[in-house]
Amino acid sequence: MSSAVTENRRTARTFCRLCNAACGAVITLEGERVVEVRGDRQHPISQGYLCPKGRAIGAHHHHPGRLDRPLLGRDGGRVPVPWNEMLDDLAGAIGSTIAKTGPQAFGMYKGTAHTVESAAAGAGAAMLAQLGSRQWYTSLTVDCPALCLVAELVAGHPWLLPVPDRDTRLTVLVGTNPMASHGHTFNIPRPKEWLRSWAREGELWVIDPRRTESADVATMHLAPRPGTDYLLMAYLVRELLRDGADHAYLERHATGVGALAAAVEPFTLERAADGTGIPTDQIVRLLRKIRETGRVSMVTGTGLNFSDAANVTLWLAWMVCAVTGSLDRPGGMWFNPGYLTQTHRQTWAPRDGSAGPGPASRPELAQRFGELPCAAVVDEIEAGNLRALLVLGGNPLIAWPQPERVARALRKLDVLAVVDVIDNGVTALATHVLPAAAQLERADIPTGAELYALQSFSQYTGRVVSPGAERRPTWWILGQLAGRLGLDVPGGPDPDAGTEEALLQALYGSDHARWQALRDTENAVVTEERPYDWVHGKMPDQRLRLAPELLVRELATMRETERGGLTLINRRQLRKNNSTLADGQGLARAARPETMLHPQDALEHGIADGDAIVISSAYGELRTRARIDERAIRGTVSAPHGFVEANAAALISSDEVDPATGMPIMTGVPVTVVRA
Ligand SMILES: Nc1nc2c(c(=O)[nH]1)N[C@H]1C(S)=C(S)[C@@H](COP(=O)(O)OP(=O)(O)OC[C@H]3O[C@@H](n4cnc5c(=O)[nH]c(N)nc54)[C@H](O)[C@@H]3O)O[C@H]1N2
Ligand SMILES: Nc1nc2c(c(=O)[nH]1)N[C@H]1C(S)=C(S)[C@@H](COP(=O)(O)OP(=O)(O)OC[C@H]3O[C@@H](n4cnc5c(=O)[nH]c(N)nc54)[C@H](O)[C@@H]3O)O[C@H]1N2
Ligand code: SF4
Ligand SMILES: [Mo]
């Protein structure tokens, strides 16, 4: 990078959209070229923090694989075409697919990167709804449908996911490693500072089968066998209901206390210790600590959501908070109403967890939260039901199970249209490649971060640079396509910045003051108002439902997993976000596809550090490198996700899913490991 000061050097304030933490960034440009990226010290939340991914925003923007122009045609036949020709062709192909096979032949997959394309919010789903297609798939269904199901069953709304309260004195991180991920359904920039302060002001416990970077700063680390956390949670709820519950709170704000007590009655200390492998004294110490503190914050992550016990574990983790009166109250877990969404001011009819029918080829799967599970897409394609798919900011080759089968199915589609920023394995299979404006080329507000931050905040960023080459913002692409299909979505014909602004402003409805407050500040607006005790008010009789039948039934039929052998667990890496930056572009040190094994397990299998290994499950193989590391507990194999080569998705299956949510089981999977 050049440090020369030239006439056209300028800086711009923005926020990073590579994950949901939305850290403030200051970008220095020479002309249209990013020459420096720094953390924004004046940002009230991130306070100058930027992780290595954030520091690579410029490299991502100038990536040699950036998509510059629309590409039409598969494989060797790919040719650049003007936008008009691309959109006419795509709309024509979608239209004739629907004319031939009906609206269910056209579907969309929305990945994590589309979630932050805020000016396009809702357009894709609206298009399908107008066409009468139910084929709407999102990465939520391979991420946390269990948590949303629990929220809906207990609190009546699938997006009401609590975050640790600022003043928590006992924080328990279960199956999440914010030091790498910056949180799962909670977003924290500066994770080390937050974790340290929770440990200093009270206690921080980490429950994870791996000794994570978060465990390093914790008061205590408990290492359960993968998939067994529900035994611990059930025991805690059982004992807290005997001694330690906030009965006044339960009387006022809960129904189903008796049914909950009956459901957890069989879960004794012996069963919890034997099943989880956590020593009895550590479990008792946690119970004692919860009683002593009175309130607790149980912060969950993918380690629970990916397991075959996800629904009951997440429910019981909520119940530890509910019975201690910690939900929706200071010192426990806070429901952020959102600066934009203002959930606490809205009225809604509480939902009860009822589901729509699954897709034709997988009728046993349910449609929840208006979405069909990703686990069904490939079956839908193989059955010939789904023939045209539009991918928005996602990577099905790493996100869905069985990548080879996914690739074959994507190839079989009549139309595979992909809106992405970088040429990758998915665009290579596409019939229509639509080059999107990336984060520095768009105005945005952090819609994804809105409800799951530790503060109520919002921010606005304008475009740092104009979209380069022939790239277009996704809202424009969808608006153009919708127009050609005779549909109506916000967007319109104009790709300029003014239209983008108007789309964002529309999200604030008639609240012009709120929008103006955002526009008037250079970074985030933080609201000091912290409403508590508002979620109960949304429920019939002001009561949370503690014992939903579906979950009680599931708990009663849980069988402890078999012991022995090696078990796969999942892990995020600091230096990439899923597949984004997995190639290490612009990073001083790239994330590596290494699988962690405990030294003793490695020794028993004749594996040395750095060896090429083959990990096999009942469904497939993963060829990768071994890292011998004491952080992995005995019996676990910790594989990162997001690499197209060395793809952990090869070890899981679309058939091995949670029956209620369709979520593929991705942790606690039995595997074997040999040297390659
Ligand atoms: N740097 C970076 N940040 C990211 C991402 C990324 O790829 N890289 N991805 C983003 C996305 S899409 C998501 S969903 C979030 C995920 O965010 P997190 O859920 O925090 O993801 P991880 O950091 O992998 O933490 C999951 C932890 O669960 C543990 N675990 C596995 N099985 C079990 C189990 O059975 N019980 C318990 N108690 N623990 C278990 C694993 O060892 C691991 O430490 O991160 C987001 N942020
Ligand atoms: N085996 C296994 N499978 C998993 C997981 C696991 O841990 N193990 N994790 C699961 C989870 S939690 C998730 S969320 C999914 C992840 O699923 P996805 O969201 O499908 O995966 P990503 O790699 O995040 O895909 C993001 C894509 O968006 C592109 N992109 C980046 N910026 C932009 C932009 O500004 N605009 C547009 N339009 N595109 C952009 C990137 O180039 C990339 O191709 O995978 C799930 N699958
Ligand atoms: S933590 Fe997330 S938002 Fe912050 S710099 Fe890193 S990738 Fe960007
Ligand atoms: Mo995710």
Question: What is the model's pLDDT at position 447?
Answer: 85
Distance CA 558, CA 312 (A): 9
Q: Which ligand is nearest to the CA of 656?
A: 2
Q: Is the pLDDT reported for residue 77 higher than 90?
A: no
Least confident piece of the model among 289-298, 345-354, 663-672? 345-354
The percent of residues above 90 in pLDDT, for the chain, comes to 93
Question: What is the model's pLDDT at position 265?
Answer: 98
Three-state DSSP state, 444: strand
The atom of ligand 1 lying closest to the CA of 571 is 24
Distance CA 489, CA 126 (A): 7
Mean pLDDT of all residues in 312-327:
98
Q: Is the pLDDT reported for residue 4 higher than 70?
A: no
The answer, yes or no, to whether any atom of ligand 3 lies below 6 A from the CB of 188, is no
The model scores a pTM over 0.95: yes
The answer, yes or no, to whether any atom of ligand 3 lies below 6 A from the CB of 453, is no
Q: List pLDDT tens digits, range 361-401.
A: 999 999 999 999 999 999 999 999 999 999 999 999 999 99
Distance CA 165, CA 426 (A): 40
The answer, yes or no, to whether any atom of ligand 2 lies below 6 A from the CB of 424, is yes
Residue 38 CB: number of other CB atoms within 10 A?
15
Question: What is the model's pLDDT at position 62?
Answer: 98
560: confidence class by pLDDT, cuts 50, 70, 90? confident
Question: What is the model's pLDDT at position 6?
Answer: 60
The torsion of the CA quartet 322, 324, 327, 331, rounded to 10 degrees, works out to -160
Q: Which ligand is nearest to the CA of 186?
A: 1
Distance CA 439, CA 249 (A): 45
523: confidence class by pLDDT, cuts 50, 70, 90? confident
Distance CA 72, CA 211 (A): 48
480: confidence class by pLDDT, cuts 50, 70, 90? very high
Distance 660 CA to ligand 1 centre (A): 22
Mean pLDDT of all residues in 526-553:
94
Q: Is the pLDDT reported for residue 330 higher than 60?
A: yes
Which of 220, 286, 302, 567 to probe ligand 1 with, by most ligand atoms within 8 A of CB? 302
Three-state DSSP state, 288: helix
Question: What is the model's pLDDT at position 22?
Answer: 96
Provide the 8-state DSSP code for 58.
H
Quote the mean pLDDT of the chain: 96
Catalogue the E-assigned strands of 223-279.
Answer: 254-255
Which of 184, 374, 572, 597 to probe ligand 1 with, by most ligand atoms within 8 A of CB? 572
Ramachandran class of 182: left when φ > 0, alpha when ψ lies in -120 to 50, beta otherwise: left
The atom of ligand 3 lying closest to the CA of 15 is 3
Residue whose tokens read 């409403």: 531
- How many residues comprise the chain? 676
549-556 and 257-264 are packed helices; what angle lies between their axes, rounded to 10 degrees? 10
The tokens of 213 are what? 């970077």
3-state secondary structure 652-670: CCCCCECCCCCCECCCCEE
Distance 614 CA to ligand 4 centre (A): 25
Q: List pLDDT tens digits, range 594-650.
A: 999 999 999 999 999 999 999 999 999 999 999 999 999 999 999 999 999 899 999
- Tell me if 455 sits within 8 A of 436, measured CB to CB: no
Distance 397 CA to ligand 2 centre (A): 9
Q: Is the pLDDT reported for residue 5 higher than 70?
A: no
Q: Is the pLDDT reported for residue 8 higher than 60?
A: yes
Least confident piece of the model among 64-68, 314-318, 341-345, 383-387? 341-345
Distance CA 548, CA 140 (A): 22
The tokens of 142 are what? 């391979």
What amino acid is encoded at 167 in this protein?
D
Which of 16, 17, 184, 589 to probe ligand 1 with, by most ligand atoms within 8 A of CB? 184
Residues 6+ positions from 455 with CB-CB distance below 8 Å:
45, 166, 336, 526, 527
Catalogue the E-assigned strands of 421-546.
Answer: 432-435, 456-459, 524-527, 544-545
Question: Residue 151: which H helix or E strand, with range?
Answer: helix 145-155
The answer, yes or no, to whether any atom of ligand 2 lies below 6 A from the CB of 666, is yes
Residue whose tokens read 């599931």: 554
Which of 20, 45, 179, 182 to probe ligand 3 with, by most ligand atoms within 8 A of CB? 182
Residues 6+ positions from 660 with CB-CB distance below 8 Å:
146, 149, 311, 366, 550, 554
CA atoms within 13 Å, Cβ hemisphere of 125:
13
Distance 32 CA to ligand 4 centre (A): 32
Residues 6+ positions from 464 with CB-CB distance below 8 Å:
12, 14, 27, 29, 440, 441
Distance CA 478, CA 490 (A): 9
Q: Is the pLDDT reported for residue 1 higher than 50?
A: no
The tokens of 384 are what? 């010939």
Distance CA 657, CA 662 (A): 5
Q: Whose CA is nearest to atom 1 of ligand 1?
A: 574
Distance CA 457, CA 550 (A): 35
Ordered by where they begin, the domains of the chain are 3-61 (3.30.200.210), 71-142+364-527 (3.40.50.740), 165-329+541-556 (3.40.228.10), 566-675 (2.40.40.20)
Distance 280 CA to ligand 4 centre (A): 33
Distance CA 367, CA 370 (A): 6
Catalogue the E-assigned strands of 257-379.
Answer: 297-300, 333-334
* 297-300 and 136-138 beta bridge pairing: unpaired
The tokens of 376 are what? 């069904």
Answer positive or negative: Cα dihedral of 249, 159, 531, 207: positive
Question: What is the model's pLDDT at position 2?
Answer: 35
Q: Where are the alpha helices (DSSP H) in 432-565?
A: 474-484, 497-506, 512-520, 549-556
Distance CA 322, CA 241 (A): 10
The answer, yes or no, to whether any atom of ligand 1 lies below 6 A from the CB of 164, is no
Distance 121 CA to ligand 1 centre (A): 26
Residues 6+ positions from 571 with CB-CB distance below 8 Å:
177, 180, 210, 596, 638, 639, 640, 641
